[in-house]
Amino acid sequence: MQLFAANGTAVPTYGKRLLKLDLRLRRNFKWPFIIAAVSQPIIGADFLRHFELLVDIKNGILIDPLIKLKTKSTLYAGNSSSVKVIIENSKFHPLLSEFPTLIGTNTTPNKIVHGVEHWIPTNGPPVFSKPRRINIATIETPSHIGFQAMATNQKSDKELSEILAHPDKSSLVLQPFPVGDHAIELYCDVASNRIRPFVPEVDRKKVYSSLHSISLPGIKATVKLVEE
């Protein structure tokens, strides 16, 4: 196996050796390490995943959640950010080398090489307005929904006619029920324990907009308003 540093330098390797690593966590970690010519030992993510270890970089702590222990560590700054196993004589390597910012680690802001700038001219401090109570008189009340108009629209609704003609193709169970002054009948769904009027297509926007204007409690409350 041949390793390469992040900058493309080859790292000589000398096989593997099974070692026991003591991280002061009251248990030994046996792992086949690769012997390589590096200035600092490297523990890979596969090692941490296998032993379920967590790394707290901010506090410099290695945590073992299995036995609820942690050990203090020391952070060192290295020249390379990673080690890769890549053969650089690939036909794609010359092309990728022309665009190092696409595959390399970029820890500094890119230098601006053009003179284009974008800004928004403003005058004074940012616009701010403190919260105020809403004037109830300015709120638009829901418009009245007439049962007579809904009953008339039910007679010309194509969807309702299709359901009545083929009731076996719909989950709705529609029956006429008297509403209002009991002289008006509306087809209502009685498939559940509650009676729900069938709203024609031309009235749906008006009905649901009116119910939505009352409050915004969620879909369950809206369904309850339609049923009642």
Q: What average pLDDT values come out for the chain (228 residues) when binned by 10 residues?
A: 70 87 86 86 86 88 88 70 57 76 63 76 76 63 70 90 89 84 81 83 79 52 54
Is residue 173 within 8 A of residue 165, CB to CB? The reply is no
- Can you tell me whether residue 152 is helix, strand or coil? helix
User: Can you give the pLDDT at residue 23?
Assistant: 85
User: Can you give the pLDDT at residue 89?
Assistant: 66
User: Can you give the pLDDT at residue 210?
Assistant: 67
- Can you tell me whether residue 8 is helix, strand or coil? coil
User: Can you give the pLDDT at residue 221?
Assistant: 54
> How far is 186 from 148, CA to CA, in rounded Å?
9
User: Can you give the pLDDT at residue 215?
Assistant: 46
Q: Which helix (H) or strand (E) holds 95?
A: helix 93-97
User: Can you give the pLDDT at residue 142?
Assistant: 54
User: Can you give the pLDDT at residue 21?
Assistant: 86
User: Can you give the pLDDT at residue 99?
Assistant: 76
DSSP assignment, residue 167?
A: G
Is residue 62 within 8 A of residue 25, CB to CB? The reply is yes
- Give the residue ranges of DSSP H helices in 9-92: 45-50
User: In terms of pTM, does the model score above 0.85?
Assistant: no
| Cα end-to-end span (Å), the chain | 75
